[in-house]
Chain A
Amino acid sequence: MSDREDRLKSLLDKVRAKRPGERAPHAADVLERIRTASGAIPAVQKTAAATPPPAAAESPASSDFSSQLPASSLPEPDTSPAIESPTRYSSQPPQVERPLSVEPRARSSSPASGAPMGPISSAPPRPSSGAPRAPSSSPVRRPDSIRAQSFAPTGQPIVYATDEPEFPRPKTFGDLLELTLSLRPR
């Protein structure tokens, strides 16, 4: 292959890199004419080279260019449900949050310290210290002493204190009533 042919082939590659679909057949014709003029190409190859494309689009060189890919085969914007699913998921609170919504309220209603008598529930607290704790398989665990929504359709939980009660728990509403109605000024 002569230097001229090498330069032309290099030029042809550059042209293909820019617009391979249009430039490749035209440049191939030019190259063929040069080769025919020099008489260095066998007849079989001349026939093959002179054959007009469709082969141009199917040539290995042109298929290497990603710019030749049709627009329809380009990766489309990701509209799969995976994008929308977090929105749907966030609208559904995970079940693990339900115990959390009860526990802070129960603790916040109980004074930490200071007041000699804090608000105590209508049920006695179960001391957390010393009580055997079952190994928790979940990071969030409803305390045993809270039985939220066990009675009221409004959903408010019973407030349970965590301190040891000073007074014993009345077992019945009548006992509770007797105790509070027996109060007199000191």
Chain B
Amino acid sequence: MHDGRFDPGGFYEFNLGAGTIRTRTRERVIMLSEAVLSSLVAAAARDGDLTPLRRLGELLGDHVLSGLDRPASVLSPDAVLGHVSAVTALFGWGRLTFERWGPALVIALRDKPELDEDDLGAAALLGGMFSEISQRQVSCVPAGESKFVMVDFEVAETVWGWFKDGADLPAIVGMLQPKRAS
């Protein structure tokens, strides 16, 4: 059984001579200030194209998968959460936890960088990350108070509309029901 522990030791390799920072999977990363990144994300959100952030989320998902010894789908939620929260924290995206609201899985991302008013940047990042982890197209829809409802890609627009119309998280979950197998 996977114990869910994540070893952050040696995650980054700083090469001052070459001026590079690489992760332990040899991927080069750069450091950005929150102010710079927020302006980029805000511009992307205005243009309606958050693909780069979704791509960044997929890279984080790759890091999560590289730390798992088995597919995430067969591991316990705790084990997956352990790696997801660790990778998220190592990249400076805040404290990630799972919450179950009835049948819905809700991602709470506290202390995250403030990128755009509607949290669409963080939503794109989380969507990309969990899509990579689950190998399915999932969306994380902002639901207020730094929480995101994980739903199927097809219903994301509907749920987002509910939230924009003023529905809070309990109301949103109350308007969803599991699809019965026919």
Chain A bound to chain B: yes
| Chain A residues within 8 Å of B, Cβ to Cβ | 109, 115-123, 147, 150-154, 156, 158-159, 165-167, 170-174, 176-177, 179-186
B: contact size bracket: 35 or more
Instruction: Give the Cβ gap from A135 to chain B, nearest Cβ, in Å.
Output: 29
Contact B177 A184 (CB under 8 A): yes
B31 CB to nearest A CB, Å: 19
Please name the residue on chain B nearest to A109 by beta carbon: B99
Find out whether the CB atom of B105 lies under 8 angstroms from the CB atom of A176: yes
Can you show 14 pairs from A to B with CB atoms below 8 A apart? A109-B99, A119-B99, A119-B106, A152-B6, A152-B85, A158-B78, A167-B102, A173-B75, A173-B80, A179-B103, A182-B152, A182-B178, A183-B155, A183-B176
Is the CB–CB distance between A172 and B74 below 8 Å? yes
Classify the secondary structure of B's interface with A. mixed
Given A116-B174, A151-B79, A158-B97 contact (CB < 8 Å): yes
A151 lies within 8 A of B4 (CB): yes
A180 near B170: Cβ-Cβ < 8 Å: no
Describe A's contact surface by its main secondary structure: loop
* Contact pattern, B 7-46, Cβ under 8 Å of A = 1, otherwise 0: 0100000000000000000000000000000000000000
Tell me the smallest distance from the CB of A157 to a CB of chain B, in Å: 9
Does chain A have a CB within 8 A of B104?
Answer: yes
Task: List residues of chain A with CB within 8 A of the CB of B82.
Answer: 150-152
**Best-buried of A123, A151, A166, A167 by chain B (most CB within 10 Å):** A151
For A117, the closest partner residue in chain B by CB is B102
Question: Would you give the shortest CB distance from A14 to chain B, in whole angstroms?
Answer: 79
Pairwise interchain contact A153-B97, C-beta atoms closer than 8 A: no
Q: Complex Cα distance A181/B106, Å?
A: 11
Contact partner, B150, options A109, A117, A180, A184, Cβ 8 Å: A180
Chain A residues positioned under 8 Å from B59 (CB to CB): none
**Chain B, 96-124, contact with A by CB distance < 8 Å: what is the 0/1 string?**
01111111111000000000000000000
Q: Which residues of A contact B104 (CB under 8 A)?
A: 117, 180, 183
